[in-house]
Structure 1
């Protein structure tokens, strides 16, 4: 799919962030009241109960159901790959997109296992963004247009959006985004990604340091995205924003998808209240990013594949939570005495 969305100026994006709705408190309270009547001790299903209530609040359904879950994978290439920051060449991005289409990737199997829809968005793979150690990734119009493209990606209809990505060198780009947004030594945000050796790590660290130094202490989140981000990161940030405006709960995958979400967090710490963070990646700085934003991941599986795989696993749990909430009998339905007799 080519970039065809009309551009949203950054001021319009900022206005959309300011207009984000909060949760539907009436639906949330309705879900909480039903949970109290289900045939189980109060709180006995732990976080499953919290997940059902979370879906209720953000979907506006007091008795939440998930019938159209979607994993959306955004794929892009990056000029910084030429700096030798990845264990794989940039051509692998295209090859993996073809593998997704053929049904041969890990994410395909997880979508089958959990009955999830899957869409893959090719973000101009044959035109990598510039090397962020030397030049800005976008001008404002193209960055905004890519965010708008991500916003339109949810237009087909879904009631649970799971974000995924594919892009050789995108952990380098994500590390630069985190370092610029949250500070600290740029190299501390760098990890092995696809499995680079010590020399690769040194090149990767140098690339992130150079990219962050080049933008000279820029603090505006959208400008940081424009200058050191990537197309998949911009598109995912747009998708998260569109989902909030449409009251669609979102599951964020790993290190790179969290970088996209972090751009919105830096604009407004409440911008991610409709998001569940699926897991903590084996990429070391992911835990640091989650802690910086005060987010608790659902899973810790030692995963670092990307593709939305962690989000797909979490979606299975979220679907189970809503099925339990909707399908369980109440004490009255089952003729079972509750704690009050």
Structure 2
């Protein structure tokens, strides 16, 4: 599966000018704390002293997972399609939050195990009706994985061409915490029990069963170690599309907002392939899903929020977005000491 993305490191030549602009605002130096770091990062990502957030967009990739057959989730697979319908009718958490903050919300059918009704906010990019059960065989073929990567990249390109320069990725897929946990384990070397969490709300017995099932799957595929092979063997169509989406967004120089555990695992794959993808990322929050803090540590990431979320859907991104708006606003609109006639 050859990949061909041209992701450049951030141009740091503006760093000193941006920092000087921040320091000249009418405030004690550093007094806006993390908001100052955020403003600096956004300016560097956009290579601009006057960055802007244009047509922010949230893409939610939805897909089903064959591993659900092994009883690793508290919810049946049918919930994926039902939640997609809830997104489209505006009743889900992410629907409410994106509406509140004027973020465009689009749902991408990456591989839901159902025939979905057409909708103006639904993009049909279905690779198949769910992945295979990776307890018995690879979740997808190399060809399916490559197709999903390209589909994710294509969706980002389409948004970029419409004027979007700030994008976030959410997901929906019953069973996808199982995929994420085994991928994280295999790509980081951290113990499986550190990577596996309760997902949609497993009790202790169900959690133990989940760990046992996932360890069996890892034993079956013990020789799979390369990032794309790990993705094809254990991933979901929605996770693979997110990988392609991250890489394309970074290639296009877009500001990328990162959600929680599943989205972070997709980013882990992307960063193993192209490390500079991380330069364009803002980490919205730390979730309460087991393993997310360890995953953030892999990126040396400092998330903006800690609200004990574990919903997915891109919910952390929508909640953190106003902080980005505030960072850009103070950088562009706040007076300098000279402009305000304030001594310092």
Q: Deviations over 1:22-79 (max 9, x none)?
A: 1132444442232122111211111111111111111222211112111111111001
> Residues 123 and 201 (structure 1 numbering): CA distance in 2 closer, same or farther, change over 3 Å?
same
- Name the SS for the 1:34 alignment partner: helix
Does structure 2 retain, via aligned residues, the 8 Å contact 1:162–1:315?
no
Partner of 2:269: 263
Deviates more, 1:305-314 or 1:54-63: 54-63
Task: Report the equivalent of 1:284.
Answer: 290
Q: Cα distance, 1:268 vs. partner? A: 4.3
Aligned to 2:314: 308
Which one of the candidate residues 224, 230, 249 is aligned to 2:230?
224
Structure 1 segment 169-318 matched on structure 2, within 5 A = 169-318=175-324
Gaps of at least 5 residues in structure 2 are 114-128
Q: Is the 8 A contact 1:60 1:247 kept in 2?
A: no
Match of 1:52 in 2: 39
Report deviation, 1:211: 2.1
Give the conservation status (yes or no) of the 8 Å contact 2:98–2:104: yes
Is residue 29–residue 62 contact of structure 1 (8 Å, CA) maintained in 2? Answer: no
3-state SS of paired residue (2:159)? coil
8 Å contact 1:72–1:163 — kept in the other structure? yes
- Three-state SS of the structure 2 residue aligned to 1:143 is helix
- Given that 2:62 and 2:109 are in contact with CA atoms closer than 8 Å, whether structure 1 keeps it comes out as yes
Alpha-carbon distance, 1:224 to partner = 0.5
Contact persistence 1:179–1:212 (CA under 8 A):
no
Partner of 1:98: 85
- Quote the offset at 1:137 in angstroms: 1.4
Equivalent pair of 1:176/1:228 in contact (CA under 8 Å)? yes
Distance 1:152 1:268, change over 3 A: closer
Residues 1:150 and 2:137 aligned together: no
Q: Using the alignment, how far apart are the partners of 1:130 and 1:286 within structure 2?
A: 25
| Alignment: residue pair count | 325
Unaligned runs of 5+ in 1: 1-9
Alpha-carbon distance between aligned partners in 1 of 2:331 and 2:277, rounded to the nearest angstrom:
26
Q: CA deviation at 1:295?
A: 1.9
Q: Does 1:75 align with 2:62?
A: yes
Contact between 1:249 and 1:275, CA under 8 Å: does it hold in 2? yes
Shift of 1:316: 1.6
Is 1:187–1:208's contact at 8 Å kept on the other side of the alignment? no
**Cα distance, 1:214 vs. partner?**
1.8
Q: Distance in 1 between matches of 2:13 and 2:189?
A: 39
Q: What residue in structure 2 maps to residue 3 of structure 1?
A: none
Q: Deviations over 1:317-338 (max 9, x none)?
A: 111111111111222322223x
User: 1:99 Cα deviation (Å)?
Assistant: 0.6
Q: Which residue is equivalent to 1:5?
A: none
Which residue pairs with 1:61 in the alignment? 48
Residue of 128, 131, 134 corresponding to 1:132: 134
Counterpart pick for 1:114 among 101, 124, 145 = 101
Q: Does the CA contact (< 8 Å) of 2:151 and 2:241 recur in 1?
A: yes
Equivalent-residue separation in structure 2 for 1:184 and 1:57 (angstroms): 32
Distance in 1, matches of 2:280 and 2:272, equals 15
Question: What do residues 127-186 of structure 1 show as CA deviations (whole Å, max 9, x unaligned)?
Answer: 110011111112111101101111111122221111111110100110011011112332
